[in-house]
Structure formats: C-alpha cells, structure tokens
A and B are shown apart, each in its own frame.
Chain A
Amino acid sequence: MLVAKNMEGCCLFQTTIPDNFRDFVFGKKPNFRKNRTVPTQMKPMNIIRLCIALLAWSGCHSIPSTPVVPSFSFYHWKANFSPTTLELDNIQKLGVSRLYVRYFDVDKETSSAPVTPLSLLTFQVLPPETIELVPVIFITNRALIDFPENQIINLAEKIWSLILEIHPVDTLPQEIQLDCDWSGRSREAFFQLIKQMKSFGCRVSSTIRLHQIQTADVPPADAGTLMFYNMGEVRDSATKNSILSIEEARPYLPALRSYPLKLDLALPIFSWGVLFRDGKMIKLIHQLEAPELLKDSLTRTNDRINFFVTRNSLLRGHFLYAGDHIRLEATQNEVLLQSARELGRYFGGSEPTITFYHLDSLNLERHTYEILHRVGSEVYFPGQ
C-alpha cells in the first residue's frame, strides 16, 4: 500500500509495493468472462432434460404464485409509546410487522462534555404481540466528531445495554438501526460503532441521507434505509418545501442503481412550521397545521404556506412577535405519490420496506391508509 506522508516528514511518499498494486493503480475491472458459460454441443441427454424442464414449466405456470405485497412500516419518534386507535388501525391495515421505534438519542452538550443518552423512550403500553420492534438510536453528528477510537467498544456496550433496558419484551431485538448524519470527522467513529454493534448478534441497519448515496462512504451495516426527506434548505426563507421535493432529489437518484448496500425506503408524512424572525430560521414547530395558525387571526396568509404573525403572542410555548414568518411545510399526497412513482424506477423489483416517518394520528389523518397503500404500489409496481 502506498502511504501518503506529511511533506515535513522524511519524504513525500514512502513507497512500498502493495499486493494489489495493479488494481489499486488502475482500478479493478469486473471480469465479465468469469461467469459466462461456454456453449457446448447439445447432447441427446440434454435434449431430454430440456423437454422435461419445458413440460414441468408448462404444467406449473398456470398455478398462481404468491402475489408480492408491499412491505410497510412506520417510524415511532415520540418519548412515550402509547399508540392511538387510528395509529394501531393503520399498523394493522398496512400489514406492518416491524416497527422502527426511536429508543433514545445519543448526544453531548458541549465538545468537552461526555456522550450521553437523551430523551429515553417510555413504553406506556406494550406493542401488539405480532409486531417486531426495531430499536432506532439517533446519534448526533457532534457526539461522534473526533470520538476516541478506543472508546467505541465502550459506547457500543452502553448503547446495547440501554436498548435492552428499554426493550419491553423478553426476546432480544433482531435488528437495531443507527441514525446519524455523519460527516468527515465523525464517519470513522460511526462506522466503527456499526461494526461493534454487529458483535451483539443482531442485524444492524443504518439510515442513509440522500446526499450520502453519491459518496463512496458506505456504512458497514447489514442494510440501509434511505431517508427520502429533508432535502431542501430549511434555513432559507425562500425555500418552498424542505421536506420533500422531487426536483431536489432527482439528481441523486441514478446513484441508487450502483449503491452497494441493500436499501429500504423511508418516506415523510410529517408536517412542521419553520419559524423565521428577521429573516433567520430560529425554530421548527412540529405537527403544525394551518387552522392553529389562523385561529383568532394570529397570522395572515395568502397562500396557506407562508403565514405572518399579526401580534406578539405565544404558540406551543414559543414566543412570537408581530412580523414573524412561519412557513408551513407538509408533504402533499400528490407529491408523495409522484415521489413514489419516481422511486419505483429504482426500487421496483427490490421489494424494499417502506417506512413512513412518522407514526402520529395527525399525520395519518392527512395521509390515509389508501394513500399510503398507493404509495407502496407505486414503488413496488412502477408503471402499472
């Protein structure tokens, strides 16, 4: 392996010949010949075999095969697990057998503070027995920036141990998912963490941001879930919708074809209000809806997307001032379906699990079971 060294060191390149130097220098080309079968002359025995096969095929093809059904799931992203009737109803109707549940966040308050778990989940009720729980751990990028390599095992053990403490059923989780928008300075720690988590004997999946599919950095996870949302610049007051924009996403999609990790798909059904003050984004207010903003003429709007506060007030514990701008962002059903159609071109045939972010009655009122089902069909059976 050639090793790059600092110029102030002994020399520019300390050169040792790598074992696979040729591949490393010139790139490895796939050997297309390797799997190609060499035609041989057809022998009588082979003709008989072919006939048997044809007969068998003609006899079987009329038997209907098991139809492919889209596989659905939800993210549960609250501090208390107590699903409402509507939420349970959707879980059942969509045939959800696996639920991705955020158990806790991992973060640190300052750069010198220790990494700690935050917002631990409480199971107020037990999930239906038929549902497999997949613990999801959200890890902030800053928690892993410059994280000492020799502390990774320790961190993995702590995470695993806390997962088991929170996990409400006796059986061990079959899969856990790590969610981190890693950067150059945290990537190595995150990848090491994934490797360590695998050592506990369960499947480890990782969330993948859209921008990450274009890089060569593929997390060493067993699978990934492509987060198909948060694609616009939320801090820019001129952005129309930062949650889902197929135009923003389109340039990234071709990279999906060559992405080496098996990918599932996460789609947004949430809404939020983005609060701007003096042109600066200062807060996200989750699950905000237009009627709440228009109540008692708190705001005025021309397009039901951009709302302008008319008087000093309070909303969900946030102080508002006259002149504040709130951009209401939600995923429109039509945009969701359009995105699904587009994604079908890349995911059709691979039968990904479609996980909606996130399980909440308000979201499910806006995106009914029928819509969510159609989204699945568009992804699974593109063009039908």
Chain B
Amino acid sequence: MRFYTESARKFTFLASSLFFWGFFHLAGPACACGPIVYEFKGYSFLSPSLINLEGTLSLWMLESNPLFSKYQRTASEDKKQANLKEWQDRHCGQVTLEDLEQVIYRASPTELKSLDMAVRSESIPLPNEYRQNTFATFMEDEKCTETIEYLLYAKKCEPYLTGNQNAWSKQKPDVEAMNTLLQEGRKAFRSCHSHYLKRRYTYQILRLAHYSKQYDLVIELYETLIPKIDQQLPSILDGWMLSLKAGALRHSGNRVEAAYLFSKIFSDYPSIRTEAFRSFYLKNEEEWKQCMLRCGSNHERATLHVIRANAQYSKRVREMIAIYDLYPEHPDLPVLLVQDLLELEKDLLGTTFNSQRKTNATHFGIPRKKAQEKVIELHQFVGHVLQDGKIQDLSIWRIADGYLSLLAGDLYSAGQTFARILTQLDDENDRKQINTLQLVMQILQLDAIGPETEALAYRLRLQNPIFKSNGDFNALLSDKLAHLYYQSGNPGKAFRVQYDTEKLQYNPRLEVLNELLAISEKATKTAYERLLLQDKTGKDITSYLWYLKGIYFIGRYQLEAAAEAFKKIPATERPTYGLFDPFQFRYSECINCGIPESEKKYDLLELTETLLALEYEAKADPEKAAPNYFQLGLALYNISYFGYAWGAADAYRSGKNWLPKEGSIYPSWQAPEGNFEVKDCSKPLYYFELSRRIADYTDRELAARAAFMAARCRQKQYFSSSAFMYKPESKKIPAMPKTFTYYYDLLNQKYQDTDTYQRIFRECLYFQAYSIR
C-alpha cells in the first residue's frame, strides 16, 4: 500500500479501538457470579430537554428511565429539604441549611434544653457544638424564646409522631399522653405571637390528633385553628396540614372530599405530591362523578385525569384525551406524551433485530401485545392535537408525529415529517432531536450488506457527532448490522460486529471461524475488514482464530484437522497457547492438580501430532497396540472436561457445568452463544476398550488400568446423561444404573488378582464403596 503511512497505521489502530470499543461495550447483565440478572435491552433516543419537567406533576413517572434519572429524588428528602428551606427563608437566609438541620432534626432534647437556657440567659453560653451554628447564634442574638420553645415542644411530640418504629410489635398509640401534648400545644398556640410558629403548632397538634386516630378531632381542629393563622404568607405546612385533614376525611368515610383535597395537594404541593397520589382513592363511578363536580375549574378536573394517567397500567392516551378536552395547555400533557413514546420505543424500535429480543419478551413482556394498536391510537391523538391548534407550543407534538410514523414502520412518512418540521423548529434542542431521529431512521433503512453499508457504519461510528452523543446508537447499529449479516450468510462478521474476540472462546463455531479466516486470507482487505480481524488492543487475531479452530477439532477428536489448523500458527507463537502433557495416569482425579510447569512438554501441534503418531504405531505395530491405545485414551480423557489437561481442547471451562446438558452447550451470562464443554467420552472409552482387549493377552496390569479408565469414562458418561437424576442442592449422588457399571463389575470379576486392582481399590473410594456394597 503506497499511501499507508505510519501515521495512517496509528490512526487505523486508534480508530479500530474506538470503533470496536463502541460495538463491544454493549449493556449486558452486570454480575460476575451467581444468579443471572436480566435487564431489558433496547434503544432510546428521546432527549429530556424536550419537555420542561420541573413544572409538571408527573415528574416521578419518568424516574425509572435512565435518561431522566437525574431528576430522581425521594419524597422524604423533598419534604425535609422544603421544610429547612422555609426555616431559612423565615430567617432571611441568615442561617445555613446545615445548621438548621443540626438544630431541627439532629439535636437531642437535652441539647435543645441547653440551647433554650442559653437563649434565655445573658450569662449562659451556647453549648460548644452550637457556638458556630448560625441558627443557634441567631436565636441567641435575637432572643428567639418562642422559636426555641416551639422546637422543644416539637421534640416532645416526635416520639409519638414517627409511626411504629418496631414493625414487629403491635403498639397502640398512647392516646392519653398525646392528648396531654395536644392540650399543651393548643395553649402554646394561644400564647404564641408569631403566626409562623402558630402555624407550626397547629401542624403538630393536627398530627397528634391524626396519629392518635381521633379523626373527627383532626377535622375540628383544622376548621378551628387554621382561620386564626395569618394566611398572608403561604407555607409548605399548608399542604401538609391539608393532607392531614384529607386523611381524616377519608378515615371518616368522606372519600369524595378527601380525594378532592388530595388532588389539590397533588397539584399544588410538590413536597408531598407522591403521598397525595398514593392517598387518592375513590371507590366507584358515582364518587368519581361527585369529585368531578366538586372541582372548581377544568384545570382541577384535568388534574384528576392526570392522577388516573399516573396509575399503574393506566391507558394513558385515554387520559390524555380527557385532559386535553378539559385543559389543553395542561403542563403534564407533554410529559404523558413522552412517557408513552418511551414505552412505544421499547415495544417497536428495532424489535425485529434486537439481539436481546427473546429475553425482553420472556422476562419483561416486551413488546406488549397491543403495541401496534397503541401506536396508532397515540398517533391519532397527536394528529388531532396538531390539527386543533389549541396548544401554543406544538414542537413536541410535531416531533412525536414523525417519531410515531417511524415507530409504526412508515419510514417514508417519518422522513417527510422530519424534513418538514426541521424548517419550522427554532429551538436548538428540538432540532438536535430531529437530527437524532433522522439518524435512527438512516440506520433502520439499511437493508443489505455491502461495501457501502460497511463504509457507512465505519463513518458513523468514527465521525458522526450525533452518533457519539447517544450510546444507544452503538447498540442499534451493531444489532442491525448483525441481523443483516446473518441474513446474508455472514455469521463471522455478524458475530464480530456484536461481540469482542474474547467472546469467541466460549463456543467457537466453525462457520464463524471459517468466515473470519477467509477474510484474513484475502490479499486486499478493506479498512473495515482489517478492523474485524483486530482485538480491542489492535492486535491481529488470525493466529487466535487458528488456535480456536484447532481446539474446536481436537475437542471433537478430529486430530488431523486440528493439526492442520495448529500448523497455521507461527511456531514461535504456538507455546503461548499452552504446553500440555495429558499422558499421565492417575488413580485419583483432580481437575486443577496439573503437572508442574516445567514438565509440560507439548504445544498443541506437537500434542496432536504425537496422538496421530501413537495411533499410526498402534495400527502398524501389534506389540505397541495395547500401550499406545491406552496412551491415546488417556490423553483424550485428560483433555476432556473431566481431565486435568482440559485446556488442550477447550479455551474456557466452567466448573459449574458438570450437570448433564444436551449438546454440552451451557448458558452463561458472559457467553452470548453459550459455553461448549468437551464432555464426550466415547472416543477415549473406545481406545481403552481396544487396549484392554489386546492387553488381556499381553499385560494384565495394563488391561486392569484400561478397564479402570473405561469405568471412569462410563461414570462420566453417566454424569453427562439424562439418567443422572442429581438434584443440584442435594449432597447425595444417585446410584449409578447397571448399564453404566459394566467396567466396575469387570474389574471385580476379572482383575482382582492384579496389583493395579489393589491400588485402585485403595485409592479410588468411589470404586471401593461400589465394590463392598
């Protein structure tokens, strides 16, 4: 290559790393060991910037979506933060939130008493830990005795108002003590001058009545005390107190009024929105109608539908239609729209080629049964909104119009819509969203594999900023390409475009290896093809592919084919794939008790050629037949799943795969096509039997060893058969059926007089147990 300069090589290396880093770092079950945790895998291309989340009621609906997770927060945090903020505002921002939290939430009753004394006294200083506290010093400086009195009172109420701390005890509220506190609070309410604190006393009093289950008293106190508080300054406590009243009404059976109040709280008080949503309850249609009548405006009525829309399994579009009819500019409509789009995206985007579509269907029920109907229903509504023109800002609806066409599979119409609205949108974020969806469409439109498609994939991944801005493009493109490759009969490329070379080791398939090796033998390769043959570090994988092909054959006892594959690995590289000596006979079995490193003699080619030579000699020289067949059997047994030299026939072996499995391919979270284990013992058994029969006339010790190894093969065949009824959690090994015990019986009947038998009997406890039964 004339123009292939050093800098170009560096660029290619870097580019390949980036290219495949993208492809291979797809979301997968994130666990190392233990049960497989399934995750939904799909693609999402909607940007949170499409909607103004802060002003809406349905914010938490989107929290489960990773794109919107930055808005996550818990209800209790909201409540606490809102309370502290109000205290801070009350003190004109002169106190810090941390200091307020220390006094209000963390101070013990004793500490508060010390603070009280310091605030009241001229001589007693603040306790040490509060001397730097801005709130404590403020109270001391301003002699806020009413405030500290209130804080002491609230602290006294606290044990009665935090619910049952011990769930395992059916504690009843101490009504008497709570009533005493309630009276104390009412007294303080009367004597207190600050309306700010009067409101807080009222809140504590209402809570005491609520937690002592005196619901009528809650309503009565609310009606009596609230009018006595100056309503000029709104407070978050207004919503909290209203929710106590609503709760009391619900307990008293007035569900309609209670539900109406909860809907108001849901709408007006963000800090307890979630609680209000959970507490909203109407029993039947009649109550729903009454509640609608109770509402004073269409906005309030629409809010009832927002609550319904947020219920689990709601039919969101129906509620959106109702909300739109009542109050088209309701700020929650766009949120509900996006929520529906996100679900339809999961249902319909790339479902035909998503590599995890089976898992998605099995574990998550995605796509939903009626997704097609849902997309049509939503699209009709969006069309209606766009035609109606009742909403001032229609940009989100226009984007939805195009995206719904795309999700419904009408790419032509989607393309037309995107092109049209791109000229109508002013907002940069909206335009970026359209560009994103246009790129999605471009990938979906790929319908055949060829140099152009491969070049496009290369360019997108390396050069397109929109592609780089959303990680799901990687997944979408690799899944789409893999699908097309499979369709066009390119399993090697399909595998590589989805997975790293490291994934090949678990279950190397011949067609995958052959295709990749064929590419490697091409005289001229495209840049894309060169990348296919490089691992994450940029290293060429051709030798690795020959290694995998070789062990593929050796694991299936096709020694000549294995030797041919190993020959392709440069001699200097061969030892890097391991040195083995599977010819050692052992009485006891131990998978990981290998021989010392220094004793390992054969690389894979040497081993294969030695095995072939042994077989040739066995056939050519009758005197060598028995020992050679024994050595052959021994080597093949030891390179199987059950032997210490398993690495000669398998690149990856998992200890947990010892239970039977048809086809010997085991599921594994890290192996996309399963993990193949070399469990077929028929060939070693064949050689042992040959050896035994011949040795019966020449060397009875060898015959006994061959019989013993044959017994071992039959035992493993039993463990790998459907007859093996072992229960995974049991410590009991089921008794071996008679059909598998032939060689055990043969040993006992025919070879008892050999030294080998005596040794076997001593060292193999399984055999010993069997024999003395």
Contact = CB atoms under 8 A, between A and B. Distances in A.
Interface in B357-406: 365, 368-370, 374
Contacts of B773: 21-22, 25-26
Interface string A264-290: 000000000000011110110000000
Interface in B255-307: 281-285, 287-288
A283 B655 CA distance: 43
A205 B293 CA distance: 53
Contacts of B167: 114, 116-117
Contacts of B620: none
A312 B318 contact: yes
Contact of B655 (A7, A13, A116, A313): A7
A277 B589 contact: no
A8 B591 contact: yes
Contact of B281 (A2, A21, A317): A317
B590 A280 contact: no
Nearest to B765: A15
Contacts of B751: none
A197 to B, nearest CB: 15
B353 interface: no
B168 A313 contact: no
B576 interface: no
B170 interface: yes
Nearest to B716: A12
A319 B287 CA distance: 12
A24 B283 contact: no
Given A7-B591, A26-B773, A314-B282, A117 B733 contact: no
B256 to A, nearest CB: 12
A1 B284 contact: no
B368 A280 contact: yes
A278 B370 contact: yes
Given A6-B655, A277-B313, A296-B285, A1 B170 contact: no
A11 interface: yes
Contacts of B743: none
B319 to A, nearest CB: 9
B169 A162 contact: yes
B566 interface: no
B598 interface: no
Contacts of B733: 2, 4, 13
A315 interface: yes
A319 B170 contact: no
Nearest to A279: B369
Nearest to A184: B729
Contacts of B318: 312, 321
Contacts of A16: 765
Contacts of A21: 769, 773
B670 to A, nearest CB: 16
A370 B544 CA distance: 80
A80 interface: no
Contacts of B590: 10-11
Interface in A112-136: 114, 116-117, 120
A43 interface: no
B655 A314 contact: no
A214 to B, nearest CB: 14
Nearest to B291: A314
Most central of B284, B654, B773 by chain A CB within 10 Å: B284
Interface of A: 1-4, 6-13, 15-18, 21-22, 24-27, 114, 116-117, 120, 158, 161-162, 165-166, 184, 188, 277-280, 282-283, 296, 298, 312-317, 319, 321
20 contacts: A2-B733, A7-B655, A9-B591, A10-B591, A15-B768, A18-B769, A21-B773, A22-B773, A158-B168, A161-B168, A162-B170, A277-B313, A277-B315, A280-B368, A282-B312, A282-B313, A313-B288, A314-B284, A321-B315, A321-B318
